[in-house]
Amino acid sequence: MPPDVSANGDFAAAMRRAAVLAARGANLTAPNPRVGAVVLDRDGAPVGEGWHGADGAAHAEVIALAQAGSRARSGTVVVTLEPCNHHGRTPPCTHALLAAGISRVVYAVPDPNPTATGGAQFLAEYGIEVIPGVGAAEAYEANHEWLTAITNQRVHITYKAAMTVDGRVAARDGTSQWISSPAARHDGHRLRAQSDVIVAGRGTVEADGARLTARDDDGNLLPNQPLRVVVDSAGRTPSDAPVRDSSAPTMLATTTRYGPGPGGVDLLRLARGLFADGHRAALLEGGPTLAASFLAAGLVDRLVIYLAPLLLGAGRPLTADLGVATLADAGHWQLLDVTRIGPDLRLTYARTSDTIARPGAT
Protein backbone atom coordinates (compact mmCIF):
# COMPACT_ATOMS: atom_id res chain seq x y z
CA MET A 1 0.00 0.00 0.00
CA PRO A 2 1.14 3.64 -0.47
CA PRO A 3 2.79 5.21 2.56
CA ASP A 4 0.71 6.93 5.22
CA VAL A 5 0.56 10.68 4.53
CA SER A 6 0.37 11.56 8.21
CA ALA A 7 3.61 9.70 8.84
CA ASN A 8 5.95 11.21 6.26
CA GLY A 9 4.13 13.83 4.20
CA ASP A 10 4.80 12.08 0.88
CA PHE A 11 1.37 13.01 -0.43
CA ALA A 12 1.95 16.67 0.44
CA ALA A 13 5.24 16.64 -1.47
CA ALA A 14 3.54 15.05 -4.47
CA MET A 15 0.77 17.66 -4.28
CA ARG A 16 3.32 20.48 -4.32
CA ARG A 17 4.74 19.00 -7.51
CA ALA A 18 1.23 18.66 -8.96
CA ALA A 19 0.56 22.35 -8.22
CA VAL A 20 3.75 23.33 -10.07
CA LEU A 21 2.58 21.26 -13.03
CA ALA A 22 -0.90 22.80 -12.92
CA ALA A 23 0.52 26.32 -13.18
CA ARG A 24 1.99 25.43 -16.58
CA GLY A 25 -1.52 25.59 -18.01
CA ALA A 26 -1.79 29.38 -17.61
CA ASN A 27 -3.33 30.97 -20.73
CA LEU A 28 -3.68 27.53 -22.35
CA THR A 29 -6.58 25.68 -20.76
CA ALA A 30 -9.55 28.09 -20.71
CA PRO A 31 -12.39 27.42 -20.34
CA ASN A 32 -10.99 24.38 -18.51
CA PRO A 33 -9.11 24.50 -15.20
CA ARG A 34 -5.38 24.29 -14.65
CA VAL A 35 -4.76 20.84 -13.20
CA GLY A 36 -1.64 18.85 -12.33
CA ALA A 37 -1.36 15.20 -11.30
CA VAL A 38 1.30 12.84 -9.96
CA VAL A 39 1.05 9.03 -9.88
CA LEU A 40 2.71 7.13 -7.03
CA ASP A 41 3.21 3.37 -7.30
CA ARG A 42 2.10 1.00 -4.56
CA ASP A 43 5.32 1.73 -2.63
CA GLY A 44 4.86 5.51 -2.84
CA ALA A 45 7.45 6.21 -5.54
CA PRO A 46 6.50 8.74 -8.28
CA VAL A 47 6.06 6.96 -11.60
CA GLY A 48 4.08 9.43 -13.70
CA GLU A 49 3.00 13.05 -13.90
CA GLY A 50 0.94 15.25 -16.16
CA TRP A 51 -0.81 18.59 -16.56
CA HIS A 52 -3.72 19.79 -18.62
CA GLY A 53 -2.29 21.73 -21.55
CA ALA A 54 -5.21 22.78 -23.74
CA ASP A 55 -8.98 22.78 -24.05
CA GLY A 56 -9.98 19.46 -25.59
CA ALA A 57 -6.63 17.81 -24.80
CA ALA A 58 -6.13 14.93 -22.37
CA HIS A 59 -6.59 15.79 -18.72
CA ALA A 60 -3.75 15.75 -16.20
CA GLU A 61 -4.73 12.41 -14.63
CA VAL A 62 -4.94 10.66 -17.98
CA ILE A 63 -1.51 11.93 -19.05
CA ALA A 64 0.05 10.91 -15.72
CA LEU A 65 -1.55 7.45 -15.86
CA ALA A 66 -0.29 6.90 -19.41
CA GLN A 67 3.23 7.77 -18.30
CA ALA A 68 2.99 5.42 -15.33
CA GLY A 69 1.56 2.52 -17.30
CA SER A 70 1.18 -0.73 -15.34
CA ARG A 71 3.08 0.78 -12.40
CA ALA A 72 -0.05 2.75 -11.53
CA ARG A 73 -1.97 -0.38 -10.50
CA SER A 74 -2.69 -0.39 -6.75
CA GLY A 75 -1.02 3.00 -6.53
CA THR A 76 -2.13 6.55 -5.71
CA VAL A 77 -3.03 9.49 -7.90
CA VAL A 78 -2.36 12.89 -6.37
CA VAL A 79 -4.24 15.64 -8.22
CA THR A 80 -4.84 19.34 -7.60
CA LEU A 81 -8.57 19.29 -8.45
CA GLU A 82 -11.24 16.70 -7.74
CA PRO A 83 -11.30 14.35 -10.77
CA CYS A 84 -14.03 15.19 -13.25
CA ASN A 85 -17.03 12.91 -13.51
CA HIS A 86 -18.62 13.98 -16.78
CA HIS A 87 -18.13 13.29 -20.45
CA GLY A 88 -17.25 16.50 -22.25
CA ARG A 89 -14.74 16.71 -25.08
CA THR A 90 -12.85 13.92 -23.31
CA PRO A 91 -14.09 10.96 -21.20
CA PRO A 92 -14.41 11.29 -17.41
CA CYS A 93 -11.15 11.06 -15.46
CA THR A 94 -12.95 8.94 -12.87
CA HIS A 95 -13.35 6.17 -15.46
CA ALA A 96 -9.67 6.35 -16.38
CA LEU A 97 -8.72 6.02 -12.72
CA LEU A 98 -10.91 2.95 -12.32
CA ALA A 99 -9.51 1.35 -15.46
CA ALA A 100 -5.95 1.91 -14.25
CA GLY A 101 -6.58 0.00 -11.02
CA ILE A 102 -5.79 2.91 -8.72
CA SER A 103 -6.37 2.18 -5.04
CA ARG A 104 -6.30 5.75 -3.71
CA VAL A 105 -6.96 9.27 -4.98
CA VAL A 106 -5.68 12.30 -3.11
CA TYR A 107 -7.03 15.65 -4.27
CA ALA A 108 -6.60 19.21 -3.04
CA VAL A 109 -9.64 21.25 -4.02
CA PRO A 110 -13.24 20.17 -4.76
CA ASP A 111 -14.54 20.95 -8.23
CA PRO A 112 -17.14 23.77 -8.03
CA ASN A 113 -18.31 23.17 -11.59
CA PRO A 114 -21.79 21.59 -11.26
CA THR A 115 -21.38 19.72 -14.55
CA ALA A 116 -18.11 18.05 -13.51
CA THR A 117 -18.35 17.61 -9.75
CA GLY A 118 -19.10 14.32 -7.99
CA GLY A 119 -15.88 12.56 -8.89
CA ALA A 120 -14.88 11.91 -5.28
CA GLN A 121 -18.21 10.31 -4.43
CA PHE A 122 -18.17 8.21 -7.60
CA LEU A 123 -14.69 6.85 -6.85
CA ALA A 124 -15.57 6.11 -3.22
CA GLU A 125 -18.61 4.15 -4.33
CA TYR A 126 -16.31 1.94 -6.40
CA GLY A 127 -14.09 1.20 -3.41
CA ILE A 128 -11.28 3.67 -4.08
CA GLU A 129 -9.98 5.46 -1.00
CA VAL A 130 -10.41 9.23 -1.44
CA ILE A 131 -8.49 11.80 0.61
CA PRO A 132 -9.51 15.46 0.06
CA GLY A 133 -7.83 18.72 1.07
CA VAL A 134 -4.13 17.78 0.89
CA GLY A 135 -2.03 20.79 -0.19
CA ALA A 136 -5.16 22.85 -0.81
CA ALA A 137 -3.48 26.25 -0.48
CA GLU A 138 -0.84 25.60 -3.17
CA ALA A 139 -3.33 23.94 -5.49
CA TYR A 140 -5.82 26.76 -5.07
CA GLU A 141 -3.21 29.35 -5.95
CA ALA A 142 -2.25 27.53 -9.15
CA ASN A 143 -5.89 27.58 -10.29
CA HIS A 144 -7.43 30.50 -8.39
CA GLU A 145 -8.58 32.44 -11.46
CA TRP A 146 -10.61 29.49 -12.76
CA LEU A 147 -12.04 28.63 -9.34
CA THR A 148 -13.15 32.23 -8.79
CA ALA A 149 -14.55 32.53 -12.30
CA ILE A 150 -16.58 29.33 -12.03
CA THR A 151 -17.92 30.32 -8.63
CA ASN A 152 -18.93 33.85 -9.74
CA GLN A 153 -19.82 33.02 -13.36
CA ARG A 154 -17.66 35.88 -14.62
CA VAL A 155 -13.98 36.30 -15.47
CA HIS A 156 -11.52 36.66 -12.62
CA ILE A 157 -10.01 40.16 -12.83
CA THR A 158 -6.56 41.25 -11.64
CA TYR A 159 -5.81 44.97 -11.69
CA LYS A 160 -2.14 45.58 -12.54
CA ALA A 161 -0.53 48.99 -12.16
CA ALA A 162 2.79 50.69 -11.47
CA MET A 163 2.84 53.55 -8.99
CA THR A 164 5.24 55.74 -7.04
CA VAL A 165 5.74 55.52 -3.29
CA ASP A 166 3.22 58.35 -2.90
CA GLY A 167 0.59 56.56 -4.97
CA ARG A 168 0.90 58.27 -8.36
CA VAL A 169 0.60 56.46 -11.69
CA ALA A 170 1.51 59.52 -13.77
CA ALA A 171 3.11 62.91 -13.23
CA ARG A 172 1.23 66.24 -13.30
CA ASP A 173 1.84 66.52 -17.07
CA GLY A 174 0.49 63.01 -17.68
CA THR A 175 3.84 61.28 -18.31
CA SER A 176 3.98 57.73 -16.98
CA GLN A 177 6.64 55.96 -19.07
CA TRP A 178 8.33 54.66 -17.22
CA ILE A 179 7.46 54.64 -13.53
CA SER A 180 8.47 51.02 -13.10
CA SER A 181 11.87 49.50 -13.90
CA PRO A 182 12.61 47.27 -16.92
CA ALA A 183 12.63 44.27 -14.58
CA ALA A 184 9.13 45.11 -13.32
CA ARG A 185 7.86 45.68 -16.85
CA HIS A 186 9.21 42.28 -17.89
CA ASP A 187 7.36 40.75 -14.96
CA GLY A 188 4.23 42.53 -16.13
CA HIS A 189 4.57 40.82 -19.50
CA ARG A 190 4.72 37.52 -17.62
CA LEU A 191 1.34 38.36 -16.09
CA ARG A 192 -0.02 39.20 -19.52
CA ALA A 193 1.19 35.88 -20.87
CA GLN A 194 -0.63 34.05 -18.07
CA SER A 195 -3.95 35.77 -18.80
CA ASP A 196 -6.73 34.97 -21.25
CA VAL A 197 -7.74 38.61 -21.65
CA ILE A 198 -6.11 42.03 -21.25
CA VAL A 199 -8.51 44.93 -20.59
CA ALA A 200 -7.83 48.66 -20.95
CA GLY A 201 -9.80 51.80 -21.72
CA ARG A 202 -9.77 53.73 -24.98
CA GLY A 203 -8.10 56.72 -23.36
CA THR A 204 -5.20 54.64 -22.07
CA VAL A 205 -4.51 52.80 -25.32
CA GLU A 206 -4.66 55.99 -27.36
CA ALA A 207 -2.56 58.09 -24.96
CA ASP A 208 0.14 55.44 -24.57
CA GLY A 209 -0.06 53.90 -28.04
CA ALA A 210 -0.39 50.62 -26.17
CA ARG A 211 -0.35 47.31 -28.03
CA LEU A 212 -1.37 45.23 -24.99
CA THR A 213 0.60 42.21 -26.19
CA ALA A 214 2.69 39.76 -24.18
CA ARG A 215 6.37 39.97 -25.12
CA ASP A 216 9.64 38.42 -23.97
CA ASP A 217 12.65 40.31 -22.61
CA ASP A 218 13.82 41.03 -26.16
CA GLY A 219 10.47 42.47 -27.20
CA ASN A 220 9.40 39.46 -29.26
CA LEU A 221 5.77 38.39 -29.25
CA LEU A 222 5.03 35.33 -27.14
CA PRO A 223 2.79 32.55 -28.46
CA ASN A 224 -0.88 32.28 -27.42
CA GLN A 225 -1.55 36.02 -27.20
CA PRO A 226 -4.47 37.01 -24.91
CA LEU A 227 -7.55 38.69 -26.29
CA ARG A 228 -7.21 42.48 -26.13
CA VAL A 229 -10.38 44.19 -24.91
CA VAL A 230 -10.69 47.96 -25.23
CA VAL A 231 -13.51 49.43 -23.15
CA ASP A 232 -14.82 51.97 -25.63
CA SER A 233 -18.45 53.01 -25.13
CA ALA A 234 -18.99 54.35 -28.65
CA GLY A 235 -16.45 52.19 -30.52
CA ARG A 236 -14.25 55.13 -31.51
CA THR A 237 -10.83 53.48 -31.18
CA PRO A 238 -9.16 54.17 -34.57
CA SER A 239 -8.73 51.19 -36.84
CA ASP A 240 -5.04 52.02 -37.22
CA ALA A 241 -4.36 52.17 -33.46
CA PRO A 242 -1.52 49.83 -32.38
CA VAL A 243 -3.95 47.89 -30.18
CA ARG A 244 -5.89 46.88 -33.30
CA ASP A 245 -2.95 45.48 -35.26
CA SER A 246 -2.67 41.84 -36.33
CA SER A 247 -0.38 40.71 -33.51
CA ALA A 248 -3.28 39.59 -31.29
CA PRO A 249 -7.09 39.47 -31.44
CA THR A 250 -8.87 42.65 -30.34
CA MET A 251 -12.45 43.37 -29.28
CA LEU A 252 -14.06 46.74 -28.60
CA ALA A 253 -16.37 46.56 -25.59
CA THR A 254 -19.14 49.01 -26.47
CA THR A 255 -22.50 49.92 -24.99
CA THR A 256 -24.10 48.44 -28.10
CA ARG A 257 -22.63 45.05 -27.23
CA TYR A 258 -22.78 45.08 -23.42
CA GLY A 259 -25.25 47.81 -22.57
CA PRO A 260 -24.71 51.08 -20.70
CA GLY A 261 -23.45 51.23 -17.14
CA PRO A 262 -22.33 53.94 -14.71
CA GLY A 263 -20.06 56.19 -16.74
CA GLY A 264 -19.96 53.94 -19.80
CA VAL A 265 -20.13 50.22 -20.51
CA ASP A 266 -21.94 47.81 -18.16
CA LEU A 267 -18.84 46.18 -16.69
CA LEU A 268 -20.66 43.30 -15.00
CA ARG A 269 -22.20 42.30 -18.33
CA LEU A 270 -18.75 42.57 -19.89
CA ALA A 271 -17.22 40.31 -17.22
CA ARG A 272 -20.04 37.80 -17.61
CA GLY A 273 -19.89 38.01 -21.38
CA LEU A 274 -16.17 37.24 -21.41
CA PHE A 275 -16.87 34.24 -19.17
CA ALA A 276 -19.61 33.04 -21.51
CA ASP A 277 -17.12 33.28 -24.38
CA GLY A 278 -14.82 30.85 -22.57
CA HIS A 279 -12.39 33.24 -20.87
CA ARG A 280 -11.46 32.84 -17.22
CA ALA A 281 -8.52 35.16 -16.31
CA ALA A 282 -8.50 38.86 -17.22
CA LEU A 283 -5.74 41.39 -16.56
CA LEU A 284 -6.99 44.96 -16.15
CA GLU A 285 -4.49 47.61 -17.26
CA GLY A 286 -6.79 50.59 -17.53
CA GLY A 287 -6.14 54.04 -16.11
CA PRO A 288 -7.44 55.40 -12.80
CA THR A 289 -10.97 56.06 -14.09
CA LEU A 290 -11.57 52.58 -15.52
CA ALA A 291 -9.89 50.97 -12.51
CA ALA A 292 -12.20 52.88 -10.18
CA SER A 293 -15.23 51.74 -12.17
CA PHE A 294 -14.23 48.07 -11.93
CA LEU A 295 -13.38 48.42 -8.23
CA ALA A 296 -16.59 50.25 -7.39
CA ALA A 297 -18.55 47.50 -9.14
CA GLY A 298 -16.83 44.86 -6.98
CA LEU A 299 -15.31 43.16 -10.02
CA VAL A 300 -11.60 43.26 -9.12
CA ASP A 301 -10.43 40.07 -7.42
CA ARG A 302 -6.72 40.79 -7.07
CA LEU A 303 -4.32 43.72 -7.19
CA VAL A 304 -0.76 43.51 -8.47
CA ILE A 305 1.00 46.79 -7.76
CA TYR A 306 4.58 47.56 -8.78
CA LEU A 307 5.81 50.10 -6.24
CA ALA A 308 8.62 52.24 -7.64
CA PRO A 309 11.09 54.24 -5.49
CA LEU A 310 9.88 57.61 -6.84
CA LEU A 311 8.12 60.60 -5.31
CA LEU A 312 6.00 62.95 -7.42
CA GLY A 313 3.92 64.85 -4.89
CA ALA A 314 1.25 65.45 -7.53
CA GLY A 315 -0.21 63.72 -10.55
CA ARG A 316 -2.76 61.00 -11.24
CA PRO A 317 -3.60 58.65 -8.34
CA LEU A 318 -3.86 54.87 -8.57
CA THR A 319 -7.63 55.10 -8.92
CA ALA A 320 -10.20 57.81 -9.41
CA ASP A 321 -12.92 58.47 -6.81
CA LEU A 322 -14.35 55.21 -5.46
CA GLY A 323 -17.24 56.90 -3.70
CA VAL A 324 -15.81 56.14 -0.27
CA ALA A 325 -16.87 58.96 2.04
CA THR A 326 -15.49 57.63 5.32
CA LEU A 327 -12.76 55.23 6.38
CA ALA A 328 -15.31 52.72 7.66
CA ASP A 329 -16.54 52.24 4.08
CA ALA A 330 -13.10 51.46 2.61
CA GLY A 331 -12.61 48.19 0.77
CA HIS A 332 -10.39 45.72 2.58
CA TRP A 333 -7.62 43.71 0.93
CA GLN A 334 -5.24 41.05 2.19
CA LEU A 335 -1.57 41.14 1.29
CA LEU A 336 -0.59 37.81 -0.25
CA ASP A 337 2.94 38.42 -1.45
CA VAL A 338 5.78 40.96 -1.49
CA THR A 339 8.57 40.36 -4.00
CA ARG A 340 11.48 42.63 -4.85
CA ILE A 341 11.94 43.01 -8.61
CA GLY A 342 14.91 45.15 -9.49
CA PRO A 343 14.51 48.44 -7.58
CA ASP A 344 10.74 47.95 -7.30
CA LEU A 345 8.43 45.95 -5.05
CA ARG A 346 5.62 43.82 -6.43
CA LEU A 347 2.68 43.78 -4.02
CA THR A 348 -0.08 41.21 -4.54
CA TYR A 349 -3.41 41.60 -2.75
CA ALA A 350 -6.66 39.63 -2.73
CA ARG A 351 -10.08 40.88 -1.80
CA THR A 352 -10.81 39.97 1.80
CA SER A 353 -14.09 38.40 0.70
CA ASP A 354 -12.14 36.15 -1.72
CA THR A 355 -9.59 35.06 0.88
CA ILE A 356 -12.30 33.85 3.23
CA ALA A 357 -12.89 30.94 0.84
CA ARG A 358 -9.21 30.52 -0.01
CA PRO A 359 -7.69 27.45 1.73
CA GLY A 360 -5.40 28.45 4.57
CA ALA A 361 -6.85 31.98 4.81
CA THR A 362 -7.72 33.47 8.16
Residue of 49, 61, 82, 285 with catalytic role: 61
Rounded to an integer, what distance in angstroms lies between the CA atom of residue 169 and that of residue 317?
Answer: 6
3 state DSSP class of 349: strand
CA distances in angstroms from 237 to 180, 197, 264, 284, listed in the order given: 27, 18, 15, 18
Rounded to an integer, what distance in angstroms lies between the CA atom of residue 186 and that of residue 198?
Answer: 16
Q: Determine whether 145 is an active site residue.
A: no
Q: CA-CA-CA-CA torsion for 117, 121, 125, 127, nearest 10 degrees?
A: 110
Identify residue 41 by its one-letter amino acid code: D
Cβ neighbourhood burial of 261 (10 Å; 0-12, 13-18, 19+): middle
Asked if 19 contacts 141 with a C-beta cutoff of 8 angstroms, the reply is: yes
Per-residue buried b or exposed e for 101-130, using 16+ beta carbons within 10 Å of the residue's own CB: ebbbbbbbbbbbbeebbbbbebbeeeebeb
- The residues annotated with a catalytic role in the active site are 61
